């Protein structure tokens, strides 16, 4: 999907860029409609999508949020359904 990510406070976003991503940023939205991590969000950087999904799932479980993944290059995003 394209356009703004429909985040709500407590949702987790995994963002990446590049054709073969090696840097994933996992961050927690602290307010509705948030599109970028807050300066003090305590974001986490990992090297693989599997690591990013594992971290995101743990955070989302604690915050009762949803998980989104977004390609920073294209702006395309999708909702990820996990519970590892």
Q: Output the pTM of the full model.
A: 0.88
Q: Where residue 8 falls among pLDDT bands split at 50, 70, 90?
A: very high
Q: φ, ψ for residue 62 (rounded to 5)?
A: -70, -40
Distance between CA 11 and CA 29 in Å, rounded? 5
Name the helix (H) or strand (E) containing 13: strand 12-16
Residue 6 lies in a domain: no
Give 19-65 pLDDT, tens digit per residue. Answer: 777 899 999 998 999 898 887 667 889 999 999 999 999 999 888 89
Count: domains in the chain: 1
- pLDDT computed for residue 15 by the predictor: 93
Residue 64 lies in a domain: yes
Residue 56 lies in a domain: yes
Residue 84 in this model has a pLDDT that exceeds 80:
no
Name the helix (H) or strand (E) containing 28: strand 24-28
Q: Which domain holds residue 55?
A: 12-80
- For 29-32, the CB contacts below 8 A with 24+ separation are 29/65, 32/7, 32/8
């Amino acid at each position: 999907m394209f356009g703004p990510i429909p985040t709500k406070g407590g949702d987790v976003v995994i963002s990446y860029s590049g054709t073969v991503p090696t840097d994933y940023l996992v961050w927690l939205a602290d307010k509705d409609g948030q599109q970028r991590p807050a300066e003090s969000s305590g974001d986490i950087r990992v090297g693989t999508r599997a690591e990013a999904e594992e971290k995101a799932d743990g955070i989302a479980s604690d915050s009762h949020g949803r998980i989104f993944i977004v390609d920073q290059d294209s702006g395309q995003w999708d909702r990820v359904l996990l519970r590892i």
